[in-house]
Amino acid sequence: MSIKIAAALGFIATILAANYVTTRYGMVPVGFGLVATAGTYFAGLAFVLRDMVHDSLDRTSDRVARSLRRRGVSWSPGRMEDDIVFAAMVALIAIGAGLSFVISAPAIAVASAVAFGLSELADFMVYAPLRNRGYILAASASNLVGAAVDTVLFLTIAGFPLQRAFLGQIVGKLAVTLVVVVLVAAVRCIRRPVTA
């Protein structure tokens, strides 16, 4: 299975897991006297997987954009590739949201779809321009922005207490992001060829 497919399936799976455990368990302690929805850690993992999907789709979007341009379809230079990646991410979110209605409460599924969709837009606006300056910077900055947007929207729409859970949600999501970003950076460093 390719990394692209694994990351996409993992992204959808984390959306489903986040919505399922939030429906089943509601609010849970996350340490430091803070609480968050039970799906917070899965949502944090979803942000990192989302960035992996972005990276894996870059080459595919280049090929699709070249093919469309050969057929006479075009729009702003450099934007077509970004728009193709964004459309693919929205499709994955829609699949996750649709499946969430089967395994979670309707209010959770709706809140998740809106929050993931709009946080994807915020994340993409930060991740895409920063990606050329390094994965760690791009993933950390975009996940911080995405986590804040996702948290406010999800808690508000799903009916959870925003003031009580906001900080716990952010801490939980960013803790997962930090662990995964460090692991990805370490693997990339180990895989880098040694030159004499």
pLDDT (tens digit, 9 = 90+) per residue, 143-167?
Answer: 889 889 999 999 999 999 999 999 9
Name the percent of the chain lying above pLDDT 70: 87
pLDDT at 15 over 90: yes
pLDDT at 113: 93
Q: Which residue has the higher pLDDT, 185 or 98?
A: 98
pLDDT at 3 over 80: no
pLDDT at 156: 96
Q: Which residues of 10-21 are buried (b: 16+ CB within 10 A; e: fewer)?
A: bbbbbbbbbbbb
Distance of CA 102 to the CA centre of its chain: 21
Mean pLDDT, range 97-107, rounded to an integer: 94
Q: Which residue has the higher pLDDT, 185 or 105?
A: 105
Site of tokens 């455990």 = 21
pLDDT at 81: 66
Q: What is the 3-state secondary structure (H, E, C) of 128-170?
A: HHHHHHCHHHHHHHHHHHHHHHHHHHHHHHHCCCHHHHHHHHH
Q: How far apart are CA 147 and CA 82, in angstroms?
A: 21
Element of type H or E holding 191: helix 162-191
pLDDT digit string (tens) for 36-79?
999 999 988 887 888 788 777 766 666 666 666 677 766 555 56
Write the DSSP symbol of residue 34.
E
Domain ranges of the chain: 3-191
Average pLDDT, the chain: 85
pLDDT digit string (tens) for 40-52?
999 888 878 887 8
- pTM score: 0.82
pLDDT at 80: 65
pLDDT at 132 over 70: yes
pLDDT at 196 over 70: no
Q: Highest mean pLDDT: which of 22-26, 67-71, 186-190?
A: 22-26
pLDDT at 21: 96
Mean pLDDT, range 18-35, rounded to an integer: 94
pLDDT at 192 over 70: yes
Describe the crossing of helices 40-70 and 106-130 by its angle, rounded to 10 degrees: 60
Specify the amino acid at residue 91.
Answer: A
